[in-house]
C-alpha cells in the first residue's frame, strides 16, 4: 500500500499532510513543499512510495478550521522517538484547545519540572503538527517561543482556539 500526501488550503496557508499506508499522519505542516514535510519524518518511518491523494486527516484539518477543534483528536499519528519524546507527544495531544501550557508546565506534566529544554525539544521534533498540537506550548513569560511553521501560524492557531474555548 502506498503512503499519501495531500495539500489543502487553510486560513493559515497551505497545509500538507503525509499519511502512511495505515492512514496515520507521519508529518504535516503549513507548507506546499512536500519535500520539507517528508524530511520531518523520522528516517525509519519514511515511506518508500508516496502518491498524491485524498486523506481523512485533511478532512479533519478542514473541520478543525471550520470550528470543530476536536476533529483532529481522533486522527491517528505515528512518530519514532525516545521514551520521553513518545510520552511528550502523547501529552501534547491532551492539552485542551484554548488552554496552552508553558514549557515549564509541560515539563512538569512529563514528570520532570526541570527538563524545560527537553520539553522544548519534544515540541521542535514533532512531525505531525496540528494533529499533535505543539503550538499549545508557550514560553514561561507567555510569549510564543518557536514554531517550525512560523510564529504567525502559531498565533493564528492559538487565537482560533481561544476564541472557541468553552469554560
Do 26 and 94 share a domain, yes or no? no
DSSP 61: H
164 pLDDT tier (thresholds 50, 70, 90) = confident
Do 114 and 53 share a domain, yes or no? no
Residues 39 and 87 sit within 8 Å (Cβ to Cβ) = no
CATH number assigned to the domain comprising residue 153: 1.10.10.10
Residues 61 and 130 sit within 8 Å (Cβ to Cβ) = yes
Residue 77 lies in a domain: no
Residue span of the structural domain in which 114 resides: 83-164
Residue 78 lies in a domain: no
Residues 46 and 104 sit within 8 Å (Cβ to Cβ) = no
pLDDT above 70 for 131: yes
pLDDT above 80 for 107: yes
The reported pLDDT for the residue numbered 74 is 94
Domain boundary among 50, 72, 94: 72
Region for residue 131 given its phi and psi (left: phi exceeds 0; alpha: psi -120 to 50; beta: otherwise) = alpha
Q: Which set of grid coordinates corresponds to residue 98?
A: 484554548
pLDDT above 80 for 154: yes
**Residue position matching grid coordinates 474555548:** 165
Q: Which set of grid coordinates corresponds to residue 55?
A: 486523506
Residues 35 and 109 sit within 8 Å (Cβ to Cβ) = no
pLDDT, average across residues 68-77:
96
Domain boundary among 52, 72, 92: 72
Helix (H, G, I), strand (E, B) or coil at 144: coil
Residue 19 lies in a domain: yes
Domain total of the chain: 2
Do 12 and 45 share a domain, yes or no? yes
The reported pLDDT for the residue numbered 140 is 86
Residue 37 lies in a domain: yes
Do 41 and 94 share a domain, yes or no? no
Do 42 and 23 share a domain, yes or no? yes
Do 24 and 94 share a domain, yes or no? no
Catalytic residues: 134
Do 67 and 103 share a domain, yes or no? no
Angle at 128 between CA 122 and CA 131, to 5 degrees: 100
Sign of the C-alpha dihedral computed for residues 30, 32, 33 and 38 taken in this order: positive
Amino acid at each position: 500500500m502506498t503512503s499519501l500526501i495531500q495539500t489543502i488550503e487553510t486560513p493559515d496557508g497551505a497545509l500538507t499532510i503525509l499519511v502512511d499506508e495505515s492512514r496515520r499522519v507521519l508529518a504535516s505542516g503549513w507548507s506546499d513543499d512536500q519535500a520539507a514535510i517528508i524530511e520531518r519524518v523520522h528516517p525509519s518511518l519514511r515511506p518508500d512510495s508516496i502518491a498524491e491523494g485524498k486523506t481523512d486527516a485533511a478532512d479533519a484539518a478542514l473541520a478543525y478550521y471550520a470550528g470543530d477543534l476536536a476533529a483532529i483528536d481522533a486522527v491517528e499519528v505515528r512518530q519514532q522517538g525516545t521514551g520521553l519524546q513518545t510520552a511528550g507527544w502523547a501529552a501534547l495531544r491532551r492539552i485542551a484547545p484554548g488552554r496552552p501550557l508553558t514549557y515549564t508546565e509541560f515539563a512538569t506534566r512529563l514528570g520532570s519540572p526541570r527538563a524545560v529544554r527537553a520539553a522544548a525539544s519534544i515540541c521542535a521534533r514533532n512531525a505531525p503538527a496540528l494533529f499533535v498540537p505543539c503550538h499549545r506550548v508557550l514560553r514561561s513569560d507567555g510569549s510564543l517561543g518557536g514554531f517550525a511553521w512560523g510564529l504567525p501560524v502559531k498565533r493564528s492557531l492559538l487565537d482560533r482556539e481561544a476564541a472557541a474555548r468553552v469554560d
